[in-house]
């Protein structure tokens, strides 16, 4: 039950304190901002300083958000400026309020995070009470989306990269079309004007690489260079790092730099000797697709990998990594299914992957041929009539209502009590099962949780792109 409202803490200091003045302030900031350049935006990185300094850059970030989109929820993530704790604090007490009105908090989602991941996510209203990094983003959301959105406010209190990675692992399934992530961070603090531009450009380039290790090394480089006045290269680095941990290796994700200024560019207060930098960056998702040539390459790789493993010969399809197109370096889940005379002969895969797709497909093909303990290993005489099917998986999406599951379109992952079970999307089509049977068989036969175990387990859905390779 919602019990209290989190009132604005920095209205009148970071932005105007009355609705009329704030609306005019926002109108002017959006007039100064960069226009929309990106589609299919999944996240934006936006500054959180006083609007007079960073407001036009923030408006450039929010211009990338589709104002017509009805988001299921918006995760607003900022790094704590006031308190330190190991993990992330969500607000479970009620809604937020700004001079423009109430902002609805998805309290149920916040409480579920605390319940499912105790210690990593905590309910702590104190961490939110004076924190401005989340609050200053909300009027921009209200301006773009009106009152048609719900937030999950998260304050990150840790300074440990490994904890950020754990937070990212929990939040990653939520990064899908139905949701939006707003990452709150300023860039360099207190170097001279020209140094700020150099530092902020390097940090921006590291973020655009979509590689968490590159960002960490870049921030370490800033520290080691002892740049005069530089206190940090990225004040919300834990929030940005969490985002990068969610997207690193996903080649369908693209980071785009939208706008840059630092406080030295402000006409009224533009001192050049100690400045703070601000970037607006958009994160968009490209279409999950492969050309016919790329699909043929994956199927050939799977078949030649099986043949080499069975015959003990050299794998003629496996080449130097530089010879593969960028799409095959994508890190996504994949299953390889083998059929012999139209009957299942082996199926093994991974829901997610920390290796490139071209490696994963080969490894899963060999594993399906030799190590699926439901079948005898594939032999030399089996190769001639072996059909191969590759299912490339989209990111996992958590399910709150089983009515969201579309038979034939969605595969499912059921997790509970340390166990898990998976059905690929084509299972429902091949069996003709009802939704209840699809869930029940996966829960009982795959996860070992009993026929109705899915009702108290965690449910995820995913889609699959199926590639077919007939025996030749």
> Residue 96's beta-bridge partner residues?
6, 103
Residue of 345, 293, 289 lying closest to 463 (CA atoms): 289
The kind and range of the H/E element at 23 are helix 19-32
Q: Torsions phi, psi of 273, nearest 5?
A: -85, -25
The kind and range of the H/E element at 361 are helix 357-370
The full set of domain ranges for the chain reads 19-285, 292-469
Whether the CB-CB separation of 297 and 80 falls below 8 Å is answered with no
Q: Which residues contact 28 (CB under 8 A, 6 or more apart)?
A: none
DSSP notation for 374-430: TSPPP-GGGGGGEEEEEEEEPPPEE-SSGGG--TTT-EEEEEETTEEEEE-HHHHHH
**What's the full length of the chain, in residues?**
472
What is the distance, to the nearest Å, from the Cα of residue 329 to the centroid of all Cα atoms in its chain? Answer: 18
CATH architecture for the domain at 19-285:
3-Layer(aba) Sandwich (3.40)
Give the start-end residues of each E strand in 221-364: 253-262, 277-285, 334-340, 343-350
For tokens 């960490």, what's the residue? Answer: 216
Same fold, 19-285 and 292-469: no
Interatomic CA distance for residues 15 and 41, integer angstroms? 26
Q: Which two tokens stand for residue 35?
A: 């226009």
Q: Over its length of 472 residues, how does the chain's per-residue pLDDT go in tens digits? A: 556 899 999 999 999 999 999 999 999 999 999 999 998 899 999 999 999 999 999 999 999 999 999 999 999 999 999 999 999 999 999 999 999 999 999 999 999 999 999 999 999 999 999 999 999 999 999 999 998 899 999 999 999 999 999 999 999 989 888 999 999 999 999 999 999 999 999 999 999 999 999 999 999 999 999 999 999 999 999 999 999 999 987 767 889 999 999 999 998 776 899 999 999 999 998 766 788 999 999 999 999 999 999 999 877 666 655 678 888 888 889 999 999 999 999 999 999 888 889 999 999 999 999 999 999 999 999 999 999 999 999 878 778 788 889 999 999 999 999 999 999 999 999 999 999 999 999 999 999 999 999 999 999 988 888 998 776 5
Q: Which two tokens stand for residue 242?
A: 């969490």
Domain boundaries 292-469, corresponding CATH code: 3.30.700.20
26: helix, strand or coil: helix
**What separation, in Å, do the N-terminal and C-terminal C-alpha atoms of the chain show?**
62
> Residue 393's beta-bridge partner residues?
464
Which string of b and e fits 136-175 if b means at least 16 CB within 10 Å?
bbbbbbbbbbeeebbbbbbbbbbeebebbbbbbebbbbbb
Whether the CB-CB separation of 298 and 224 falls below 8 Å is answered with no
Q: Which two tokens stand for residue 410?
A: 């969605």
Q: Torsions phi, psi of 414, nearest 5?
A: -115, 125
Count of CB atoms within 10 A of residue 465's CB?
Answer: 16
Interatomic CA distance for residues 470 and 206, integer angstroms? 43
Interatomic CA distance for residues 222 and 204, integer angstroms? 13
For tokens 């934006």, what's the residue? Answer: 44
């Amino acid at each position: 039950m919602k019990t209290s409202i989190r009132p604005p803490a920095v209205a009148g200091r970071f932005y105007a304190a009355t609705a009329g003045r704030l609306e005019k302030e926002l109108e002017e900031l959006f007039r100064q901002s960069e226009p929309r350049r990106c589609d299919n935006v999944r996240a934006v990185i936006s500054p959180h300083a006083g609007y007079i300094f960073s407001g036009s850059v923030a408006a450039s970030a929010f211009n990338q958000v589709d104002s017509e989109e009805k988001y299921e929820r918006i995760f607003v993530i900022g790094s704590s400026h006031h308190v330190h704790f190991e993990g992330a604090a969500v607000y479970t007490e009620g809604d937020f309020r700004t001079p423009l009105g109430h902002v609805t908090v998805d309290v149920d989602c916040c409480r579920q995070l605390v319940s499912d991941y105790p210690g990593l996510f905590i309910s702590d209203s104190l961490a939110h009470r004076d924190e401005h990094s989340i609050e200053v983003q909300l009027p921009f959301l209200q301006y773009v989306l009106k009152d048609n959105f719900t937030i999950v406010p998260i304050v990150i209190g840790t300074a440990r990269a490994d904890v950020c990675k754990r937070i990212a692992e929990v939040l990653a399934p939520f990064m899908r079309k139905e949701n939006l992530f707003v990452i709150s961070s300023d860039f360099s603090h207190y170097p001279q004007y020209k140094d700020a531009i150099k530092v902020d450009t390097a940090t921006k380039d590291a973020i655009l690489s979509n590689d968490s290790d590159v960002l960490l090394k870049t921030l370490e480089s800033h520290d080691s260079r002892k740049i005069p006045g530089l206190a940090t290269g990225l004040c919300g680095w834990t929030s940005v790092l969490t985002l990068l941990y969610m997207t690193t290796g996903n080649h369908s994700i693209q980071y785009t730099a939208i706008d840059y200024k630092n406080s030295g560019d402000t006409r009224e207060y533009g001192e050049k000797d100690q400045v703070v930098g601000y970037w607006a960056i958009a994160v968009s998702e490209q279409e999950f697709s492969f050309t016919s040539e790329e699909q043929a390459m994956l199927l050939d790789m799977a078949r030649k990998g099986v043949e080499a493993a069975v015959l003990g010969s050299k794998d003629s399809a496996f080449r130097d990594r530089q010879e593969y197109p960028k799409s095959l370096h994508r890190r996504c889940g994949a299953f390889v299914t083998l059929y012999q005379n139209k009957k299942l002969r082996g199926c093994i895969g991974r829901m997610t992957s920390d290796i490139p797709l071209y490696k994963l497909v080969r490894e899963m093909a060999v594993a399906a041929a030799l190590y699926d303990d439901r079948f005898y290993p594939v032999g030399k005489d089996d190769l001639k009539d072996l059909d191969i099917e590759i299912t490339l998986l989209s990111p996992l999406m958590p399910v709150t209502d089983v009515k969201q599951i579309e038979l034939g379109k969605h595969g499912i992952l059921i997790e509970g009590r340390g166990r898990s079970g998976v059905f690929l999307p084509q299972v429902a089509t091949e069996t003709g099962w009802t939704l209840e049977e699809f869930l029940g068989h996966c829960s009982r036969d795959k996860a070992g949780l009993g026929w109705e175990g899915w009702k108290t387990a965690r449910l995820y859905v995913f889609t699959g792109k199926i590639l077919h390779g007939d025996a030749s």
